[in-house]
């Protein structure tokens, strides 16, 4: 019954079914393979392809061989050569039930010479004649008839033409027949010619077996199962063999091989494959089958090792010279074996013994190197396949879009003997389109070759189409083009599935001739590095905002975008990075990819720094950090320039008196800049806060949860954006009381929803947890008790992931979760799962966002979420109307930096007398913390340490006030209407443990507030004036910086998960690689000046270390503002010569769209195309950034020269913010970007010389003096 479920031609005999259950052992290990069969008579380099072998001298009597007639088949068994004398063949059946007919076909006459029903000789006419070309050359034909046993045909005389012997099986099971034959000498035959043998192409056989291996591994999983189900019905045992030994004889291998739907479409026949599986004899055993089964994995492993080889040796000729040496080849194989866990012998057999010889042949090396899909220097891979002139083959994965046609490759005219096939686990159609003739050449419905005609000629080439495969679960279609293709043909795939599908593309060709044989080859295009770098910077900026760390980005991309075909495990060795087509999915995940100036293929080329076809974790980390490095260098050098106009002081502060900035010192500088916002010398860098996402619900008042709390309904699930979509819930929470493991309680929940639809965001077992739809996601990290923490519960509908964050770090990611579907559910604060009796918590803030907030933004969002705020307006005129804010601990004031903002309206009843003090913020218990108006001016005190402004706060009008304490610098700062009015140093942090802080109320001796207050906010960090103006609403959030063309090439970074300190170290390393032009691991004075000139564009700066200071130093405490920037006229771009070590290269100087690069010229990947040495591909002209956006820092770029852009009209410099009367001498400075034009030479020590037109650009006019402020 099982057998009858198979297609008729695949149904095994009963005896074969019985034997299929037997255990199979490797006879190779038993040493008896050679004993069971002798190698056929074929010459060296030829293999047996026929059951009957014809030699010039004749058969020397009767010979027997066996042949397997597949069920329902009528196929050619062998060919009788022309000139064969007195041939006779008889078909002997195993049983009388076998229904088999012997036929002889004359292909020259296209008719059956012998056939039981319609032949010239048949059951009705048992004798006949085959006419020859001359007199007396007729051949007599005798047939015993189809009912005779055995059925026999005899030819008397020499065959005048070649004849085909067919065996027709009329049954529903395969049948083994014995052919008993004899023949005399063959006329006009020259030894050592042998009929039935064909030349063996080991490379074609290897390619075919790899394709078969992909299919068979997908269908059967393991070699044992595949052997049992494919070969088991055909195995035989013989007397004297071990009881558990079984092998497949030569004649039965066709059954095993033709189970593969593509068997007849490939270049190697089953007989050639059998020679690979059973090179020693007439039987294929389990060990040979296993070797063939493993070939697909070995192929993928070899490709992975080729990638590593290219990482060390990028030149094809150098790689060939290296591997052609035996010792080097041994080393390569051993390293590959260590990586892939495949034996050295198996790797050697695949790479260097495919042709049967031990030495690595050039053709074998070429096959290895072609797997890298390399383009010459200056060109990028733009196609799935690179069409080299020489014979080539390979496999690639291709992503095809859902329910549409996808173009994969364009076959060039002049390609010879092309084979292409596609394999997928969803229904697809392979199609060929002629773009010149505008017609479908191959298409199941509507093609010249298709449903009605699967073989045919097109423009002189012979095409064979496998037909439409719609059987499943695997779908495989192929096209073979024999001969010379005289026209271009586009390969397209239609995907019928409702989702994007990855397919395996297999291809091979013998040669490309004519004009299409060129360098660079078809499939390569010239790279515009400027555009690619700009796109890469934009992608980097998105990655920074989307992923909390480069390791998180790497894991997400590997998990979501390194999507293999699902067809097999054959590419498991290739998962050491994001490959070409994986990158397409990364690119499409970026929402703005369609607006990028370059394609995903160009950005892949840019990100793949070593151009080995894989973006590994190191390279992705460099891309991830790229935008951050640009910001760091801009902030650092622009900040130094503004805080220290005397460049020598800036250099001395940076180098700390040394002759160079060492790597460790540079790390410290970047760490201070990113963590402390401090420049060398101590000056702070002030940047506005980033724009914050609007919350659909926000609550900043403190709420008790648990037994002491009172649950509150905050809305329904749809209104809050929780149903069917991504969302994020952000809270500040403090858990009190019992040990963490006993803490169970909801922060947010839907208690009225059905159990399998209920939403829960809270704490389970002392750990943050989230659940809905019956899926629970619980952190492995236990929360602290009696301490404030920041928690985010995030659901991403696009990836079906729940993500839990604790204090900015990812603590759990749970996948496979469908969206929350609690339609109509009421959402409650503090109500959901039944809380434990011991549940006791305080909720400091709660925000709900209708989107999946990326981890990168969480720290910023929590940072700029006030610890406490009062949005409305309040009138305070006595103690009863004062507002209690909370304790110093809950407000984040004790022992920490903080910022307090408030808009004040002083009642006219408040006077400015020396003894008149009015409370803004106070601690009534002991007056240990006071922010007041005293003597009409703002005052700030911790205990007896006081700081007072010199500016009067007017009555009868609103005034924006900021009190800032910087715990690290031990400084009080007072701001009035966004301007720094006083700064006082030497202030120790506030120590008032548990002190109650009030709005408008202090203790004895300090008056209550008289007037109004609004927009009250307390932040848990220190802020500067520019940020205060944004946070208080006086200034707009600065737009995101424009993208630049910076590229990072520092090596060995970002290869493991990073802690925050390590991530900063990586950024510092990348930035050092940019500034360190001579790559000696330190920054010389000349290199420092080069970057300073490039970033600031200040042409008045000297070039070289011997320059002297031309300006006096100002106070080192000046605050540098990075947002109030005025753009200036872009100077023409000049070519700059940079000499790094012994290398000289032409580079452009600063322009508004270029940024300093590490050297982008990689070692040669392939022979460069012939091209004029003086001509470089010209990138598109730079486009000036919009005037509303901050300018892009101008810098050196080690890339091809950039054409001179037209200079835009001069822009008016932004006026500096006028200081208020009595303001402190430390004022914020507007930053100007000035382009640098000139020729720079850097020697091996990093010193610089100048030349060219470095002084051709004048500085812009100074900004006009600000108007005098009103009295």
Which helix (H) or strand (E) covers residue 288, if one does? helix 286-293
pLDDT of residue 552: 82
CA distance 411 to 378: 22
CA distance 801 to 166: 61
Record the tokens describing residue 574, joined without a space: 């290739």
Smallest Cα–Cα separation from 971: which of 1200, 684, 706? Answer: 684
CA distance 1220 to 536: 44
CA distance 1240 to 303: 43
pLDDT of residue 561: 62
Would the pLDDT of 786 be above 90? no
pLDDT of residue 473: 83
Could you tell me the pTM of the whole model? 0.62
Would the pLDDT of 59 be above 90? yes
CA distance 726 to 799: 10
- The average pLDDT across 568-578 equals 57
- Of residues 1113 and 375, the one with the higher pLDDT is 375
User: Which residue is listed with tokens 């030829």?
Assistant: 46
List, as one string, the DSSP characters of 651-689: HHHHHTTSSEE-HHHHHHHHHIIIII-B-TTS-BEE-PP
CA distance 65 to 179: 5
pLDDT of residue 592: 87
CA distance 215 to 257: 12
CA distance 974 to 961: 8
CA distance 1134 to 1252: 8
User: Which residue is listed with tokens 């050639």?
Assistant: 272
SS3 for 15? helix
- The average pLDDT across 558-584 equals 64
Q: pLDDT digit string (tens) for 959-975?
A: 999 999 998 888 999 99
State how far Cα 480 lies from the chain centre.
33
HSE-up (13 A, CA, CB side) for residue 606: 31
CA distance 573 to 591: 31
CA distance 709 to 706: 5
Task: Report yes or no: 1196 and 1135 within 8 Å, Cβ to Cβ.
Answer: no
Would the pLDDT of 1187 be above 80? no
The residue length of the chain stands at 1271
Residue 1088's pLDDT band (boundaries 50, 70, 90)? very high
pLDDT of residue 937: 94
Would the pLDDT of 1214 be above 70? no
Task: Report yes or no: 843 and 731 within 8 Å, Cβ to Cβ.
Answer: yes
Task: Report yes or no: 53 and 182 within 8 Å, Cβ to Cβ.
Answer: no
Signed CA dihedral, 596, 601, 606, 607: sign only: positive
Task: Report yes or no: 78 and 165 within 8 Å, Cβ to Cβ.
Answer: yes
CA distance 788 to 806: 11
pLDDT of residue 1222: 39
Beta bridge partners of 1019: 899
CA distance 1204 to 1189: 22
Residue 20's pLDDT band (boundaries 50, 70, 90)? very low
User: Which residue is listed with tokens 């005034």?
Assistant: 959
pLDDT of residue 1112: 31
Helix, strand, coil percentages (3-state) for the chain, rounded to 5, are 25, 30, 50
In terms of C-beta density within 10 A (0-12 exposed, 13-18 middle, 19 or more buried), how is residue 824 classed?
exposed
Q: Residue 1071: phi, psi to the nearest 5? A: -65, -40
pLDDT of residue 739: 60
Q: pLDDT digit string (tens) for 234-273?
A: 998 877 776 667 899 999 999 999 999 888 888 889 999 9
Of the segments 103-112, 552-561, 802-811, which one has the largest average pLDDT value?
A: 103-112
pLDDT of residue 1017: 93
HSE-up (13 A, CA, CB side) for residue 647: 24
CA distance 1127 to 1212: 8
User: Which residue is listed with tokens 């017609």?
Assistant: 439
CA distance 949 to 980: 9
List, as one string, the DSSP characters of 763-824: EETTEEEEEETTEEEE-SSPPPSSSEEEEEEEEETTTTEEEEEETTEEEEEE-S-PPP--TT
Residue 78's pLDDT band (boundaries 50, 70, 90)? very high
pLDDT of residue 139: 93
CA distance 702 to 733: 10
User: Which residue is listed with tokens 């009035």?
Assistant: 976
Specify the DSSP class assigned to residue 84.
B
The percentage of the chain sitting over the pLDDT mark of 70, rounded to a whole number, equals 79
Residue 1055's pLDDT band (boundaries 50, 70, 90)? very low
- Of residues 1103 and 63, the one with the higher pLDDT is 63
Q: pLDDT digit string (tens) for 591-607?
A: 889 889 999 999 999 99
- The average pLDDT across 312-339 equals 91
CA distance 1012 to 1009: 8
CA distance 1089 to 1087: 5
Mean pLDDT, the chain, as a whole number? 79
Smallest Cα–Cα separation from 527: which of 430, 637, 602? Answer: 602
CA distance 871 to 1080: 55
Would the pLDDT of 711 be above 80? yes
């Amino acid at each position: 019954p099982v057998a009858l479920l198979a297609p008729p031609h695949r149904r095994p005999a009963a005896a074969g079914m019985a034997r299929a259950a037997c255990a199979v052992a490797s006879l190779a290990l038993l040493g008896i393979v050679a004993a069971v069969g002798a190698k056929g008579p074929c010459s060296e380099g030829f293999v047996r392809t026929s059951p009957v072998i014809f030699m010039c001298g004749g058969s020397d009597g009767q010979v027997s061989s066996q042949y397997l007639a597949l069920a329902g088949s009528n196929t050619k068994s062998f060919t009788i050569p022309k000139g064969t004398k007195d041939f006779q063949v008889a078909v002997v059946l195993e049983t009388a039930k076998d229904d088999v007919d012997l036929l002889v076909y004359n292909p020259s006459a296209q008719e059956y010479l012998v056939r039981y029903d319609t032949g010239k000789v048949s059951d009705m006419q048992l004798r006949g004649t085959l006419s020859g070309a001359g007199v007396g050359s007729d051949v007599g034909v005798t047939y015993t008839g189809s009912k005779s046993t055995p059925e026999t045909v005899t030819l008397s005389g020499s065959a005048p033409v070649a004849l085909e012997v067919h065996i027709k099986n009329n049954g529903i099971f395969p049948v083994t027949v014995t052919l008993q034959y004899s023949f005399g000498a063959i006329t006009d035959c020259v030894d050592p010619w042998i009929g039935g043998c064909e030349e063996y192409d080991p490379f074609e056989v290897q390619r075919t077996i790899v394709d078969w291996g992909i299919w068979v591994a997908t269908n059967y999983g393991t070699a044992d199962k595949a052997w049992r189900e494919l070969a088991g019905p055909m195995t035989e045992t013989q007397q004297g063999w071990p009881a558990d030994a079984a092998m497949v004889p030569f004649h039965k291998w066709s059954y095993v091989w033709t189970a593969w739907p593509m068997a007849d479409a490939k270049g190697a026949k089953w007989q050639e494959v059998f020679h690979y599986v059973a090179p020693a004899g007439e039987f294929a055993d389990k060990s040979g089958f296993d070797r063939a089964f493993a070939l697909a994995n070995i192929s993928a492993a070899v490709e992975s090792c080729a990638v590593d080889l290219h990482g060390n040796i990028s030149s094809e000729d150098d790689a060939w010279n290296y591997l052609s040496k035996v010792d080097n080849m041994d080393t390569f194989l051993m390293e590959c074996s260590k990586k892939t866990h495949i034996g050295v012998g198996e790797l050697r057999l695949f790479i260097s013994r495919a042709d049967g010889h031990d030495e690595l042949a050039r053709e074998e090396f070429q096959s290895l190197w072609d797997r890298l899909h390399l383009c010459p220097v200056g060109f990028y891979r733009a196609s799935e396949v690179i069409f080299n002139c020489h014979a080539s083959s390979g496999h690639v994965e291709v992503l095809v879009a859902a329910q549409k046609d996808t173009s994969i490759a364009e076959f060039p005219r002049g390609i010879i003997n092309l084979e292409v096939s596609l394999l997928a686990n969803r229904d697809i159609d392979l199609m060929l389109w002629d773009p010149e003739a505008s017609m479908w050449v191959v298409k199941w419905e509507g093609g010249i070759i298709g449903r009605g005609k699967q073989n045919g000629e097109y423009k002189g080439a012979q095409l064979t189409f496998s037909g439409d495969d719609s059987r499943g679960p695997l779908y495989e279609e192929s096209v073979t083009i024999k001969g010379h293709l005289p026209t271009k043909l586009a390969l397209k795939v239609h995907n019928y599935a409702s989702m994007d599908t990855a397919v395996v593309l297999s291809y091979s060709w013998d040669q490309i001739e004519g004009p299409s044989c060129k360098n660079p080859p078809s499939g390569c295009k010239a790279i515009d590095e400027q555009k690619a770098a700009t796109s890469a910077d934009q992608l980097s900026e998105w990655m920074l905002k989307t992923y909390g760390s480069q390791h998180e980005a790497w894991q997400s991309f590997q998990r979501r975008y390194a999507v293999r075909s699902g067809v097999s495990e054959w590419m498991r060795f290739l998962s050491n990075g994001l490959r070409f087509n994986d990158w397409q999915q990364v690119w499409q995940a970026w929402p703005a990819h369609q607006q990028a100036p370059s394609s995903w293929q160009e950005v892949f080329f840019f990100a793949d720094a070593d151009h080995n076809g894989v973006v590994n974790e190191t390279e992705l980390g460099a891309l991830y950090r790229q935008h951050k490095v640009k910001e760091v260098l801009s902030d650092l050098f622009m900040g130094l320039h503004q805080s220290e106009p005397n460049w020598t002081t800036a250099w001395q502060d940076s180098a700390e008196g040394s002759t160079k900035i060492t790597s460790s010192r540079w790390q410290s500088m970047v760490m201070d800049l990113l963590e402390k916002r401090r420049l060398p010398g101590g000056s702070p860098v002030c940047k506005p806060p980033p724009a914050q996402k609007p919350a659909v619900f926000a609550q900043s008042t403190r709420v008790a949860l648990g037994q002491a709390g009172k649950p509150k309904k905050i809305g329904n699930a749809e209104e809050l954006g929780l149903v069917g979509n991504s969302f994020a819930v952000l809270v500040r929470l403090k858990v009190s009381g019992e040990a963490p493991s006993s803490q169970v309680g909801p922060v947010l929940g839907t208690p009225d929803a059905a159990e399998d639809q209920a939403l829960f965001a809270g704490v389970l077992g002392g750990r943050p947890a989230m659940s809905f739809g019956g899926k629970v996601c619980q952190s492995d990290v236990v929360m602290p008790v009696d301490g404030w923490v920041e928690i985010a519960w995030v659901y991403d509908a696009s990836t079906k992931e729940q993500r839990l964050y604790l204090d900015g770090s990812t603590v759990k990611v749970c996948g496979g979760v469908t969206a929350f579907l609690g339609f109509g559910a009421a959402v409650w604060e503090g109500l959901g799962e039944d809380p434990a009796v011991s549940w006791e918590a305080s909720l400091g803030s709660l925000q709900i966002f209708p989107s999946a907030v990326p981890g990168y933004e969480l720290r910023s969002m929590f940072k700029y979420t006030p610890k406490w705020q009062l949005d409305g307006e309040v009138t305070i005129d006595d103690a009863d109307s004062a507002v209690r804010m909370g304790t110093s601990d809950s407000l984040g004031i004790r022992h920490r930096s903080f910022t307090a903002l408030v808009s004040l309206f002083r009642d006219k009843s408040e006077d400015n007398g020396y003894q008149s003090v009015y409370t803004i913020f106070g601690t009534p218990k002991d007056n240990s913390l006071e922010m007041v108006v005293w003597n009409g001016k703002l005052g700030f005190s911790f205990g007896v340490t006081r700081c007072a402004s010199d500016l009067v706060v007017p009555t009868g009008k609103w005034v924006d006030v900021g009190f800032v304490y910087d715990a690290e610098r031990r400084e009080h700062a007072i701001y009035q209407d966004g301007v720094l009015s006083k700064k006082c140093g030497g202030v120790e942090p506030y120590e008032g443990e548990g002190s109650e802080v009030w709005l408008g109320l202090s203790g004895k001796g300090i008056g209550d507030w008289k007037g109004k207050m609004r927009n009250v906010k307390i932040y848990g960090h220190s802020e500067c004036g520019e940020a205060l103006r944004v946070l208080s609403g006086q200034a707009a959030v600065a737009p995101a910086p424009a993208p630049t063309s910076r590229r990072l090439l520092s090596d060995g970074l970002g290869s493991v998960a990073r802690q925050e300190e390590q991530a900063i170290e990586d950024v510092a390393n990348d930035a050092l690689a940019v500034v360190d032009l001579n790559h000696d691991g330190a920054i010389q004075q000349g290199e420092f000046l080069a970057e300073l000139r490039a970033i600031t564009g200040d042409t008045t700066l000297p070039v070289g270390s011997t320059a002297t200071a031309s300006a006096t130093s100002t106070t080192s405490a000046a605050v540098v503002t990075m947002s109030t920037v005025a753009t200036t006229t872009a100077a023409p771009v000049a070519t700059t010569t940079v000499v790094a070590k012994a290398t000289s290269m032409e580079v452009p100087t600063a322009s508004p769209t270029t940024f300093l690069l590490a050297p982008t010229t990689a070692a040669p990947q392939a022979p460069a195309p012939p091209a004029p040495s003086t001509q470089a591909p010209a990138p598109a002209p730079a486009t000036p950034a919009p005037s509303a956006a901050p300018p892009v820092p101008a810098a050196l770029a080690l890339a091809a020269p950039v054409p001179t852009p037209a200079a835009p009209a001069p822009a008016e410099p932004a006026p500096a913010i006028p200081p208020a009367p009595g303001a402190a001498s430390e004022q914020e400075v507007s930053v100007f970007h000035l382009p640098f034009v000139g020729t720079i030479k850097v020697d091996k020590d990093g010193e610089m010389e100048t030349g060219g037109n470095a002084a051709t650009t004048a500085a812009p006019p100074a900004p006009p003096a600000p108007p005098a402020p009103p009295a």
